[in-house]
Structure 1
Amino acid sequence: MVGVGTAENIVGIVGIITNIALFLSPIPTFITISKKKKAAGFKPDPYVATVLNCAMWVYYGLCPDGSLLVIIINTFGLGIELIYIGIFFLYSPWNRRRNILLALLIELVFMAALVALCRSFALVETLCIILNIVMYTSPLTIMGRVIQTKSVKYMPLYLSLAMFLNGITWAVYALLKFKPFVLVPNGLGALLGLVQLILYATYYKTTKLDEPENPMLNSPKLKAETLN
């Protein structure tokens, strides 16, 4: 019979793999954006949120009770997310570029203030939990568009699947020795990933992937959302 410690190590290794898969899962989306040379319809929100999340976990890893593995994984994630945002920036209109730059500037100021002023490991840990939740909830804007348009054209399937698998793996890891600070954000991430997969299955048949743009995007409200 496998002991709790062994099970924890096995699930931890699986969690590392799903973490890497989560970071790499949007690649098909960015290949599409690069080929079309436009990011219209896609949302940068999850990637901007993940930048701050990764930066926070790198800082957490650098703390006295941190982990080199946490630093390595999240440094890798930070680099990948910045590449994604760079592609968004390259193929977006100026108003969206402005919003991305503003969001990144706010994140930079936040991190600089945290490093300069915070000396509490418990606070850093709490902020990491909060930002994990923000990262997992950031696709809610995409989910809203899917329901409005009844189309999953702009919902990245692999990102939703990776989010679900990553969330459920780390939730199981947390349950083995009951670590609430790991369980709460990742349990929520698994739930939101599952909701996205259900939405994808629900609206996949009504999605016309070969259309240049979804007709519902012609409404003033959705046009404004696309440009932001």
Structure 2
Amino acid sequence: MDAPEPILVPARGDAFDFRLFAVYHWRAHHMSAGALRQRAESYLAWAAGIVRERATDLAREHEPHRSHELERALNNLLVGQHWPRDESRPHFTVQVRVSPDERVRERLRPYWEERIRLECNHELEQIRARQTDELTRRWCAVLQALEDDPVTAHAARLTGEQFAEVFRRYVAERREAVPELLTLLREAVRGHNDLGLGPSEYTEAWDAALRTYQRQHGIDQRAN
């Protein structure tokens, strides 16, 4: 049975009230439903007094805008209890829903409006970041494919002057690193030979890497 009116209990500081909406669950043995309902209605004021008594001290421990915290604490306090204590008589258990003072609700409204706006903006930024990351990865794959395949590299010129120019700069920057890498490979191979290590697996691997890299980039191996 729902109480017709909220029960008012003071919040911390006594400037605002919490509103308690109680739901009573009545049980009885050997009593008809109609008789039990009539009894419950006649005991509403008494039941509300019990809830108010249990809730008042606990409510004063909570700030006026902490209604959800009070609701959890109060229901934890009331769970498993029933009134009257004698189970052979009609008795009730109770659950409550807690709402803040209307004045507090009005003060909370701008806070939640701003919080909702910020959270929505944050979510949009995350979506944009994911889309940008995905697009970047796709373009990297496209550029790598264009660089590796001579046919598609020439085809890039047909896609527009701006794209062709961007691709040309990308390939040029990548190729600038080739001579430095070749120098390191040559020094590694020659250095091990200078130490008299002979055709070991290590030097052979470096030499194979050097030849492969030269072939991939169209560099004359006789330049060694």
Larger % of helix: which? 1
Structure number with larger C-alpha Rg: 2
- Higher relative contact order (CA closer than 8 Å, sequence separation 6+): 1
Q: TM-score category by the smaller chain?
A: under 0.3
Larger % of strand: which? 2
